[in-house]
Structure 1
């Protein structure tokens, strides 16, 4: 049963709360919980690794419904970088996907950008854009801050 978004707003008091709910929904293949984190806006969008841009909650729901037919996604968000200004938060996330293979447990990597907006119903996701990654992506190239003397 889908919870009304107004009831979940208290759970989504910060972008980090929304992100946690999103990844927990992926890990449990809970479609209603996953859709609760999305803003109720026509222009929300989602891109799965190697997939087309999905626009609107209906298209996003249908895509995740198909994904969840394969079961839950064993995903762990790692190395989250956050930019937060006003009513917008952007999180760049390195996602580790755990896969069971005949050779044993393997990891795959996805690089994702999650964008959240503060709404009357709490923080909601408006964009999830995921791209295939590699083991090399666990390394980051970070510019050292310039020091003025």
Structure 2
């Protein structure tokens, strides 16, 4: 059992590396985290649907030109099986201009050749009412979504 526990922890390392690459606007590091398949897709919270590695690269480069963004995972749910891990996360996206957007994001990770890689990301902006309720619960110290 401990071997499987470490296997899934490594998927979390990939997610954390993605967050770090986004915060650092590091295109090469961000791209190294994706599975090397053309079926990959990234639906960004600001709207673009990017399919394939080249479109994802171009979309991330465009995103990085607008300035740095940090992503803080506020609540993460994990669904795992032997070769796939899915993260459902509520996140705060903070830009360099100090603006903040609350986002729901789903990350699909695939275990291939001994490594966890991103196969799909789907992010969407939370409705204002939902974001307000989420933030209020966090401020009351009750923890996320309890």
Structure 1: state its 5+ residue gaps: 1-11, 143-149
TM-score (norm 2): 0.78
Q: Which residue of 2 aligns with 1:72?
A: 68
**Bigger-Rg structure (1/2):** 1
Structure 2: state its 5+ residue gaps: 1-7, 138-143
- How many Å separate the matches in 2 of 1:62 and 1:99? 19
Larger RCO: 1 or 2 (CA < 8 Å, sep 6+): 1
SS in 2 for 1:42: coil
- How many Å separate the matches in 2 of 1:62 and 1:107? 23
Question: Aligned pair in 2 of structure 1 residues 65, 99: CA closer, same or farther (>3 Å)?
Answer: closer
**Correspondence for 1:113 among 90, 106, 124:** 106
CA drift of 1:52 comes to 3.7
Tell me which protein shows more helix as a share of its residues.
2
CA drift of 1:76 comes to 1.1
**What do residues 12-35 of structure 1 show as CA deviations (whole Å, max 9, x unaligned)?**
971101001000000000000000
Q: Which residue of 2 aligns with 1:129?
A: 122
Question: RMSD of aligned C-alpha atoms?
Answer: 2.2
Question: Aligned pair in 2 of structure 1 residues 28, 141: CA closer, same or farther (>3 Å)?
Answer: closer
Runs of 4 or more consecutive aligned structure 1 residues displaced over 3 Å after TM superposition: 139-142
CA drift of 1:90 comes to 0.3
CA drift of 1:41 comes to 0.6
Once the two structures are overlaid, the 10-residue window that deviates more, 62-71 or 92-101, is 92-101
TM-score (norm 1): 0.77
CA drift of 1:100 comes to 5.8
Instruction: Count residues in correspondence.
Output: 128
- How many Å separate the matches in 2 of 1:137 and 1:50? 21
Q: Where do residues 77-96 of structure 1 align in structure 2 (5 Å cutoff)?
A: 77-96=73-92
